């Protein structure tokens, strides 16, 4: 790093810069970082020590030398050290010359970093990292896994199931609920024109596991694409309902005719006393049917807002 610091001093004589690396004394390192954070120095020459811990909103540009030597996760973390405020950020990757070339894996890593630039792309980056390196057979001898053959989601599900079976614990798979509420819920083409981008976001929405995650997605979409059109607002609400249905292990939720129909499925996680109390409180409007469904009369031709509110109220009453 000494040689690079000397070159910077020659090329940029009027620029104040600091040097940071893991071999420095803690007090000295802290002083260097404080000077950079306060603006006393305009540039920080450092090792990958800043991969975690640097959170300086005024830092808006990072240049990574020999980016081909870093792992994909490392590149993703380093790129995330800038652009942490409302200022446009830039990440420049310095690669070897064409004569030296890149290895096949290094080329894939660089492509992945270039492709996944949106907020919350960490899952996709991790999946690509596993595809490049191979996840290995964690419970076997072969450590050169081919995760791309079955996909990461299926791999993780199979792994979880295998662990439960080895522990002698029951394997309970939450059913994927079917939701048919006659509500327009989608990404309009004029909101997100790129079909591949829409598919990525649809997939991300299916991984929502809490109301907070749905709200985070909402703020992210507004920040990236602008104010939400109504179908996207409805879709986020449907995803919240889906999360509740999965938690209840319910089979589905429908709006047909005048009725909101909750299908419990074979093994629901709902207190029977709550269902009985709900039916009693709603008089003739609610009833249980022999096929293990709860039907609630809410009226015909309701607006999407009314349908979603009635659905939220129903699921909330049973939780």
Please indicate, yes or no, whether residues 97 and 228 belong to a single structural domain of this protein.
Answer: no
pLDDT tens by residue, 122-139: 555 555 555 445 444 433
Please indicate, yes or no, whether residues 153 and 231 belong to a single structural domain of this protein.
Answer: no
Please indicate, yes or no, whether residues 76 and 139 belong to a single structural domain of this protein.
Answer: no
User: Would 125 be classed as within a structural domain?
Assistant: no
Angle at 177 between CA 311 and CA 216, to 5 degrees: 70
What's the CATH number where 36 sits? 3.40.50.300
- Per-residue pLDDT, 254: 92
Please indicate, yes or no, whether residues 186 and 169 belong to a single structural domain of this protein.
Answer: no
The upper half-sphere exposure of residue 214, i.e. CA atoms within 13 Å in the direction of its Cβ, equals 17
Please indicate, yes or no, whether residues 94 and 189 belong to a single structural domain of this protein.
Answer: no
Q: How far apart are CA 18 and CA 8, in angstroms?
A: 11
pLDDT tens by residue, 270-295: 888 888 888 888 878 888 888 888 99
- Per-residue pLDDT, 148: 46
Range of the domain at 50: 2-118
Angle at 236 between CA 119 and CA 118, to 5 degrees: 10
- Per-residue pLDDT, 150: 46
Give me the residues of the chain with pLDDT under 70, please. Answer: 51-55, 83-87, 98-99, 116-160, 171-175
- Per-residue pLDDT, 73: 72
Please indicate, yes or no, whether residues 193 and 314 belong to a single structural domain of this protein.
Answer: yes
Q: How far apart are CA 105 and CA 113, in angstroms?
A: 13
- Per-residue pLDDT, 67: 86
Please indicate, yes or no, whether residues 138 and 71 belong to a single structural domain of this protein.
Answer: no
Q: Residue 228 carries which DSSP code?
A: P
- Per-residue pLDDT, 262: 92
Q: 232: closest CA among 262, 202, 258?
A: 202
Please indicate, yes or no, whether residues 80 and 145 belong to a single structural domain of this protein.
Answer: no
Cβ atoms 18, 9 nearer than 8 A: no
- Per-residue pLDDT, 223: 83
Cβ atoms 211, 217 nearer than 8 A: no
- Per-residue pLDDT, 91: 86
Q: How far apart are CA 92 and CA 78, in angstroms?
A: 11
- Per-residue pLDDT, 146: 46
CA 111 to chain centre: 20
> pTM surpassing 0.75?
no
Q: 262: closest CA among 214, 215, 296, 213?
A: 296
What's the CATH number where 293 sits? 3.90.1150.50
Structural domain total, the chain: 3
Please indicate, yes or no, whether residues 84 and 169 belong to a single structural domain of this protein.
Answer: no
User: Would 124 be classed as within a structural domain?
Assistant: no
User: Would 127 be classed as within a structural domain?
Assistant: no
Token representation of residue 32: 């260097």
Please indicate, yes or no, whether residues 161 and 199 belong to a single structural domain of this protein.
Answer: no
- Per-residue pLDDT, 138: 39
- Per-residue pLDDT, 117: 58
Please indicate, yes or no, whether residues 35 and 163 belong to a single structural domain of this protein.
Answer: no
Please indicate, yes or no, whether residues 161 and 243 belong to a single structural domain of this protein.
Answer: no
| Residue listed under structure tokens 């300086």 | 56
């Amino acid at each position: 790093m000494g040689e690079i610091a000397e070159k910077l001093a020659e090329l940029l004589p009027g620029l104040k810069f600091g040097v940071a690396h893991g071999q420095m004394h803690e007090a000295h390192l802290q002083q260097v970082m404080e000077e950079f954070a306060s603006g006393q120095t305009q540039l920080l020459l450092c090792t990958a020590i800043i991969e975690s811990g640097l959170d300086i909103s005024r830092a808006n540009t990072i240049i990574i030398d020999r980016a081909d030597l870093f792992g994909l996760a490392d590149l993703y973390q380093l790129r995330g050290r800038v652009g942490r405020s409302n200022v446009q950020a830039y990440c420049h990757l310095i690669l070897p010359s064409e004569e030296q070339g890149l290895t096949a894996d290094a080329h894939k890593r660089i492509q992945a970093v270039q492709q996944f630039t949106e907020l919350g792309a960490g899952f996709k980056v991790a999946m690509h990292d596993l595809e490049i390196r191979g996840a290995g057979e964690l419970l076997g001898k072969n450590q050169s896994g081919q995760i791309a053959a079955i996909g990461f989601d299926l791999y993780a599900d199979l792994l979880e199931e295998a662990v439960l079976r080895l522990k002698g614990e029951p394997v309970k798979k939450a059913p994927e609920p079917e939701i048919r509420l006659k509500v327009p819920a989608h990404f309009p083409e004029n909101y997100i024109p790129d079909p591949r981008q829409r598919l990525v976001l649809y997939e991300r929405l299916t991984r929502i596991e809490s109301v907070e995650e749905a709200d985070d997605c909402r703020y992210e979409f507004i920040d990236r694409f602008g104010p939400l059109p109504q179908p996207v607002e409805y879709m986020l609400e449907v995803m919240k309902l889906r999360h509740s249905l999965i938690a209840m292990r319910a089979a589905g939720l429908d709006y047909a005719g005048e009725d909101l129909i909750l299908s419990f499925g074979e093994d629901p996680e709902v207190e029977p006393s709550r269902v009985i109390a709900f039916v009693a409180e709603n008089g003739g409007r609610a009833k249980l049917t022999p096929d293990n469904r709860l039907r609630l009369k809410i009226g015909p031709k309701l607006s999407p807002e009314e349908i979603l509110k009635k659905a939220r109220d129903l699921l909330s009453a049973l939780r």
